[in-house]
Amino acid sequence: MTTAPLALDERAARADADDALAPLAERFVLPDGVIYLDGNSLGPLPAAVPPAVTDVVTRQWGTDLIGSWNDNGWWDAPLRIGDTIGRLVGAAPGQTVAGDSTSVHLFTALTAAAALRPDRRFLVTDPGHFPTDRYLAEAVARRQDRLEVRRIAPPDLDAFLAEEGDQVAVVSYAPVDFRTGELYDMAATTEAAHRAGALAVWDLCHAAGAMPLHLDAQEVDFAVGCGYKFLNGGPGAPAYLYVAHRHHTSFETPVTGWNGHANPFGADRDYSPAPGIARARIGTPPILSLLALEAALTVFEDVDLAQVRAKSMSLTEFFLRCATELLTPLGIESVTPPDPSRRGSHIALRHPHALGLTHALAQRGVIIDMRAPDLLRFGVNALYTTHRQLLTAARHLQEIMQESAYDPEPPRTGPVT
């Protein structure tokens, strides 16, 4: 045994002892003996959610019945919860709506953004973007004849805009790469898009709740994000859509459902959009899930996201150090940028047997995920992750590899990896 692991123990102990956010872990229900490093895919259960859901089901639905649309604030929930999320992403009230999936909100955002630049040809997106974002960009382009998708990696965007900027309608990117955890400069990309006369659509799934975001200050045009990762709203939690105030009058939703009508209960013959962000509503929202998400968001009530970001950087920095000392000698490499200002809240390590290693870790109570073909993703959440847990996870992985205690060709146990 070298002295390095002792240094890691010492560092973990000091960082955790100095952690002002440590008490926030009590706001979550996590099973004993589990080190949960997959909150970047599904956030764990906030303690506030079960009583809130019980109240919604038994009192609001069970007793108050349909009167709850008014009396328990069901009708306004998409806008109210949208505003709560808005506070986490730097959006003033009245610009964010919650209720549909990220994919549906993204379809709305991309379609509406492209329609605001009717004389331009290109919808530019990241070839490494999450699949739904790539598929929907193609779907939107297929529905507007003059549009064509161009897949441009973030580092090549400036050069593309210099060449073809006057033909770019929309750029659609994510601040955090879902595979590598690389963090891109939202302000610079949005500004570059605007200089070219294009609009910027952002997918905040891997960023919201993990770091401060500044949608209004950076003059983002449209943004979407899910409710189930760092917002901890639960499986299938409703997502959200942000549309900057300045686009509200010209914004046309492609899915003209009755909830977005100016007079939703008037049964008018024709569609007439509601004023403001309400026009981005579609149909009856999933109230049980929305109100679970609302309860989950209370976790953030007195939390400073700058502190969350600082601790997240400390956690990822520490985990990278653990990986360098304990895992790199065994053939595992990080694909996440070493510069803390260039990474989000997860670390991706590369190994050809990523799936087998992920399963072996799970058997030891360390929950991570893998992304094909060879990335192990370790998500940290400053609200409940400790440095000690990361060191323990790295030591488990070291032992599993040293003892070859994993199946190199594991059977797939289900559709979800």
Ligand X SMILES: Nc1c(O)cccc1C(=O)C[C@H](N)C(=O)O
Ligand Y SMILES: Cc1ncc(COP(=O)(O)O)c(C=O)c1O
- 41 forms part of the interface with ligand X (CB under 6 A): yes
The distance of Cα 357 from the centroid of its chain, to the nearest Å, equals: 25
* Number of neighbouring beta carbons within 10 Å of residue 417: 14
Determine whether 318 is an active site residue: no
- Residues in contact with ligand Y, counted by CB under 6 A, come to a total of 13
Which of 36, 122, 130, 318 is catalytic? The answer is: 130
258 burial (CB, 10 Å; 0-12 / 13-18 / 19+) is: middle
Q: Which is nearer to ligand Y, 60 or 102 (CB)?
A: 102
Cα(25)–Cα(107) distance, rounded to whole angstroms?
35
- 232 forms part of the interface with ligand X (CB under 6 A): no
Cα(105)–Cα(253) distance, rounded to whole angstroms?
10
The strand pairing partners of 349, in sequence order, are: 334, 376
- 416 forms part of the interface with ligand X (CB under 6 A): yes
- 366 forms part of the interface with ligand Y (CB under 6 A): no
Residue with tokens 């799936």: 355
Q: Specify binding-site residues for pyridoxal 5'-phosphate.
A: 102-103, 130-133, 203, 206, 228, 258, 284
Which of 38, 126, 177, 203 is catalytic? The answer is: 203
Q: Kindly tell me which residue out of 203, 221, 294, 369 binds ligand Y, with binding defined by CB under 6 A.
A: 203
Helix axes 4-17, 387-402, angle to 10 degrees: 150
Which of 28, 160, 222, 228 is catalytic? The answer is: 228
Q: Alpha helix (H) ranges present in 124-281?
A: 131-143, 157-164, 186-195
Nearest approach, Cβ of 137 to ligand Y (angstroms)?
12
Nearest approach, Cβ of 253 to ligand X (angstroms)?
23
Element (H, E) at 81: helix 77-89
Nearest approach, Cβ of 130 to ligand X (angstroms)?
6
Please report, as residue ranges, which positions from 226 to 265 form the binding site for ligand Y (by CB under 6 A): 226, 239
Which of 27, 229, 279, 343 is catalytic? The answer is: 229
Q: Which is nearer to ligand X, 127 or 266 (CB)?
A: 127
Cα(157)–Cα(151) distance, rounded to whole angstroms?
9
Cα(85)–Cα(43) distance, rounded to whole angstroms?
16
Applying CB under 6 A, the residues found at the interface with ligand Y are: 101-103, 130, 132-133, 174, 178, 203, 205-206, 226, 239
Residues carrying an active site annotation: 130, 203, 228-229, 377
